[in-house]
Amino acid sequence: MSNVSNLAEAREARRLQQPRTQGGKGFALLHRKIMDVPFYKDPEAAHLWIHLLLRANHEQTVVSTDVGNVTCERGEFITGRNALASETGLSADRVKALLRKFQNLGMITTKSNNRFTVLRVVKYDEYQSNFCPADVQPVSSANPVIPTHSGDVCPADVQPVSTDNNILNNLLPNGSKYVAPAEENSDRKVTRLSCEEVWSALKECVPDARGWSAITPKRKQIIQKFWREAKPIAKQFGDAEPFGMTAFRQYLNYLHTSCRWMFESRPDQKTGKTWQKRNYEFILNSELYAQVREGDRDDR
């Protein structure tokens, strides 16, 4: 009986060392450094980025399509905006905006036709290894992994699908504002304002306001002007952290709770007209921001 048990264990061990098949399911290991990515606090952006990492092929794969066989290299996969929306639960427009952001950051490239898109995760090979680390916890290393004998090969169920140990420097291209500076300069990190993120926060935090269906160049200028002027105002109020998305969301949440007059249409008894609820242009005003911080715009 013990021989049979040992034989079964040996077969199971060999099975785990076989290459992962296309239809198989396995573990996806994510390095904690992903929490340092600037858009990590945007749940939709982080969700989509992780989904792209999970969907990318870990080896060259031939995919049958309506226009014939298409070869997807390691780090690539065939998809589309609507397909990603269906898989992640995000809206198609939000997926489109985030993919454009990832492209601008040099994190992905795309090749499209009228039927589908081949999406490639840039530097996939550099920060994902074919072999398991010694403790099967860090997914990869900046240095190439030297294969050892078959006993140390990563089991098929532990496929590396994650970020690099040094994600901020290897995931994004050199020169990107999102690339983390060297450790000795870590206190001088540069962040970039995303008008799409501001727009998303407005839709989420003040849904009763008169919103936008699109972001135009003029509306981007309104966002940028508000951001430039709000920073020194927040500093004068003694905020410990510089004005950013967290402070902006707190401002919006306060408006939605304590300044309800902005989001309700009310009749004017004197003129007989109706005051319309406020729009984003009204909210994105540094003078209003200062008055709200002083409590002068609360409901009476």
Check residue 59 and give its pLDDT.
Answer: 81
Contacts of 233 (CB under 8 A, 6+ apart): 243, 286, 289, 290, 293
Q: Could you report the per-residue pLDDT of 29-85, keeping only the tens digit for each?
A: 676 777 777 778 889 988 998 888 888 888 888 888 777 888 888 889 999 888 899
Pick the last residue of a domain from 128, 162, 188. Answer: 188
Check residue 216 and give its pLDDT.
Answer: 94
Q: Could you report the per-residue pLDDT of 115-131, keeping only the tens digit for each?
A: 788 999 887 766 565 54
83 and 179 part of one domain: yes
With respect to residue 11, please indicate whether it lies within any of the assigned structural domains: no
Check residue 141 and give its pLDDT.
Answer: 39
212 and 166 part of one domain: no
Instruction: Count up the domains in the chain and report the number.
Output: 2
Indicate left, alpha or beta for 147 from its phi (over 0: left) and psi (-120 to 50: alpha): beta
Check residue 89 and give its pLDDT.
Answer: 94
117 and 211 part of one domain: no
Q: What does the alpha-carbon distance between residue 283 and residue 82 come to, in Å, rounded to a whole number?
A: 32
Structure tokens at 125: 């090979």
231 and 148 part of one domain: no
Check residue 39 and give its pLDDT.
Answer: 77
Pick the last residue of a domain from 132, 155, 188. Answer: 188
DSSP codes of every residue in 104-140:
HTTSEEEEE-SS-EEEEETTHHHH--SS--TTS-S--
104 and 131 part of one domain: yes
Q: What does the alpha-carbon distance between residue 39 and residue 44 come to, in Å, rounded to a whole number?
A: 9
With respect to residue 290, please indicate whether it lies within any of the assigned structural domains: yes
Pick the last residue of a domain from 142, 170, 188. Answer: 188
241 and 222 part of one domain: yes
118 and 265 part of one domain: no
With respect to residue 260, please indicate whether it lies within any of the assigned structural domains: yes
111 and 211 part of one domain: no
CATH number at residue 63: 1.10.10.10
With respect to residue 159, please indicate whether it lies within any of the assigned structural domains: yes
Residue numbers of the domain that contains 72: 26-188
Check residue 243 and give its pLDDT.
Answer: 92
Check residue 189 and give its pLDDT.
Answer: 45
203 and 120 part of one domain: no
Across the chain, which has 300 residues, the per-10-residue mean pLDDT values are 50 45 53 74 89 85 82 88 91 90 86 85 68 42 43 43 39 43 41 85 92 93 94 90 91 91 80 84 95 87
175 and 271 part of one domain: no
Q: What does the alpha-carbon distance between residue 141 and residue 95 come to, in Å, rounded to a whole number?
A: 30
125 and 216 part of one domain: no
